[in-house]
Amino acid sequence: VMVAHKFDSQRYVVPKGVELAAGDLVVVDGDRGMNLGVVERLFNKAPHYKVENNVVRIASEQDCEALRQQRLDEEAVRLDVQALADTLAPKMNIRGIEYQFDRQKMTIFYSAPGVHVDFRRLQRVLYSRYGCRIWIKDYKGEVGEEDISNQSVTTSTSTHHHHAPHHHHTVPHAHPPKQPREDSKRRKSVAENM
């Protein structure tokens, strides 16, 4: 199954006996922890490569509420990170923040076209301030009219410079399933408004 996160998608193994549909909100294996995403696509065949991570379970209503709060927190963190970057790593434009769902990892997406950015000091300060692993990625994807940090729901401290995903996702139709579908209208509304 392909699961969309805030800025990218990844393939996961679905355990036997778990039935999923496109749009389902699921808890998945993360980077030394747990993450959450939306089922984007189902596959009939296994790929020709080994898929490392698994779908853990279908997200609960409590998970939906936690994700909504997380998205609000990410925007506040983005503003804080931008203020720090203005001092410690000038020329960095912080485009978005994504916490892993268990908040053990924070990925910061930035752009600085044509400029080499030394973000090591910033990374150390952020690790100290937020107490989680900090990944910083150069975001080279296309951005629409809105800054990607404003998009609705859709990682040991690393100094590696990762290439950003080529696209990002919003998740306007995510819903936590496995309640009677008629009974999940309120929960679907919660996910749609993230």
Flag whether pLDDT at 194 surpasses 80: no
Helix (H) or strand (E) holding 126: helix 120-130
d(CA 146, CA 126): 26
pLDDT tens sequence across 38-87: 999 999 888 999 999 999 999 999 999 999 999 999 999 999 999 999 99
d(CA 133, CA 106): 6
CB 160 within 8 A of CB 140: no
Using pLDDT thresholds of 50, 70 and 90, give the confidence band for residue 176: very low
Flag whether pLDDT at 157 surpasses 90: no
**Cβ-count burial of 33 within 10 angstroms (0-12 exposed, 13-18 middle, 19+ buried)?**
middle
What is the pLDDT averaged over residues 120-145? 83
Q: Which is nearest to 6 in space by CA: 22, 20, 25?
A: 25
Phi, psi of 88 (to 5 degrees): -95, -25
Whole-number average pLDDT of the chain: 78
> Which pair of tokens denotes residue 66?
């936690």
> Which pair of tokens denotes residue 192?
């749609």
